[in-house]
């Protein structure tokens, strides 16, 4: 009984460590793709943003889950939760224009 409980606790701690490690590596990146020409619908814009994320995330579900916001009015871009490697992969695409890390400062944005 004690051994089973110990195995459960150790398994939980290992899983928790894996989850926290993967979350700690991710940051919010803003990917700027230029200005809109006004010809695409919101759905078309979102599809393009999801396709960039699908390239680095591996699945449509992960791509949709990591996107935070699609900018669609004045600029063409999106913010997403990415690892540095995923951000580098997006920055290597041919349409990519600019990508930066968004740092949340509670003193500026309460």
For residue 16, give both structure tokens: 């928790």
Task: State the total domains in the chain.
Answer: 1
What is the pTM (predicted TM-score) of this model?
0.65
- Domain residues for the domain of 78 are 26-101
In a domain, 10, yes or no: no
In a domain, 67, yes or no: yes
Residue 69 vs residues 10, 15, 16, 97, 108: alpha-carbon distances, Å: 37, 29, 28, 18, 20
Tell me: the pLDDT tens digits for 66-109? 999 998 887 888 999 999 888 888 887 656 556 666 665 556 54
Tell me: the pLDDT tens digits for 1-12? 677 554 644 454
Look up the CATH number of the domain holding residue 55: 3.30.70.80
Contact of 75 with 31, CB cutoff 8 Å = no
- In whole angstroms, give the CA distance from residue 104 to residue 96: 23
In a domain, 44, yes or no: yes
In a domain, 109, yes or no: no
* Residue of 65, 78, 84, 67 whose CA lies nearest to 25: 84
In a domain, 110, yes or no: no
In a domain, 3, yes or no: no
């Amino acid at each position: 009984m004690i051994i089973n409980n110990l195995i459960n606790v150790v398994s939980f701690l290992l899983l928790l460590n894996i989850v926290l490690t993967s979350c700690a590596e991710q940051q919010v990146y803003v990917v700027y793709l230029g200005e809109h020409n006004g010809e695409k619908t919101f759905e078309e814009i979102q599809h393009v943003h999801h396709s960039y994320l699908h390239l680095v995330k591996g699945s449509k579900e992960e791509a949709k889950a990591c996107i935070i916001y699609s900018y669609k009015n004045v600029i063409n871009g999106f913010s997403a939760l990415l690892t540095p490697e995923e951000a580098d992969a997006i920055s290597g695409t041919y349409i990519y224009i600019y990508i930066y890390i968004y740092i949340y400062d509670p003193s500026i944005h309460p």
